[in-house]
């Protein structure tokens, strides 16, 4: 839990430092839907269920051609379930998991002088998985991201952002459960896709 709080504080401080260090930036509070992901193993699978997602993205300009550096934080709370064909021939709830996604990356905006601006980007960062059940440990995993979407500006200062984001890989490990003394341990990569939208506030000169 201390590691979880420390990493989130560092990420938030970095956002504010980045915000104050540049002339022009965009702040976008976002909300959306995180599609569930599943990792199959020999004998069953583990699954992180669908959930809502909330967060904030800060983009600051680095050139006059639509290039921006991006910092993103997103939060989700989802159920972790397992289906093992030997021990449990049905899907079983394991624990609720809070996931904190922090990403640092680059995006390229197109049609920079127009109101409608498609964009695409790459990012890297980490995800903190924090299970609610104390039997399971909080884990921090490297995350690579791909982002694409569109921005539409109603004015020079206010716009809307709609995007899809693929987070990969998110390595999960150490999930286990028991039945009659038997123990299964499994892990792997969870690939997560989310769809979000939010209101853009553009600041600076």
pLDDT at 119 (0 to 100): 98
Mean pLDDT of the 8-37 span: 73
pLDDT at 190 (0 to 100): 75
Tell me: the pLDDT tens digits for 68-98? Answer: 999 999 999 999 888 777 766 778 888 899 9
Tell me: the pLDDT tens digits for 134-167? Answer: 777 788 888 999 999 999 999 999 999 999 999 9
Q: Are 97 and 79 in contact (CB under 8 A)?
A: yes
2-204: what fold?
Porin (2.40.160)
Pairwise pLDDT comparison (161 vs 9), residue with the higher score: 161
Pairwise pLDDT comparison (73 vs 205), residue with the higher score: 73
Mean pLDDT of the residues in the chain: 82
């Amino acid at each position: 839990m201390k590691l979880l709080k420390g990493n989130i504080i560092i990420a938030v401080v970095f956002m504010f430092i980045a915000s104050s260090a540049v002339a022009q930036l965009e702040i976008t509070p976002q909300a959306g839907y995180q599609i569930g992901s599943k990792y199959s193993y020999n004998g069953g699978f583990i699954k992180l269920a669908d959930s809502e997602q909330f967060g904030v993205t800060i983009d600051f300009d680095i050139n006059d051609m639509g290039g921006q550096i991006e910092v993103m934080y997103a939060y989700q709370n989802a159920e972790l379930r397992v289906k093992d064909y030997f021990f449990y021939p049905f899907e079983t709830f394991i624990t609720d998991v809070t996931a904190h996604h922090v990403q640092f990356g680059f995006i390229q905006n197109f049609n920079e002088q127009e109101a409608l601006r498609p964009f695409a980007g790459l990012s890297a960062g980490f995800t903190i998985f924090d299970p609610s059940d104390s039997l399971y440990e909080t884990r921090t995993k490297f995350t690579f991201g791909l982002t694409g979407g569109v921005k539409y500006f109603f004015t020079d200062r206010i716009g809307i952002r709609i995007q899809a984001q693929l987070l990969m890989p998110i390595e999960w490990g150490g999930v286990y459960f028991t039945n009659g003394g038997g123990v299964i341990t499994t892990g792997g990569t969870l690939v997560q896709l989310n769809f979000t939208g939010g209101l853009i506030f553009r600041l600076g000169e």
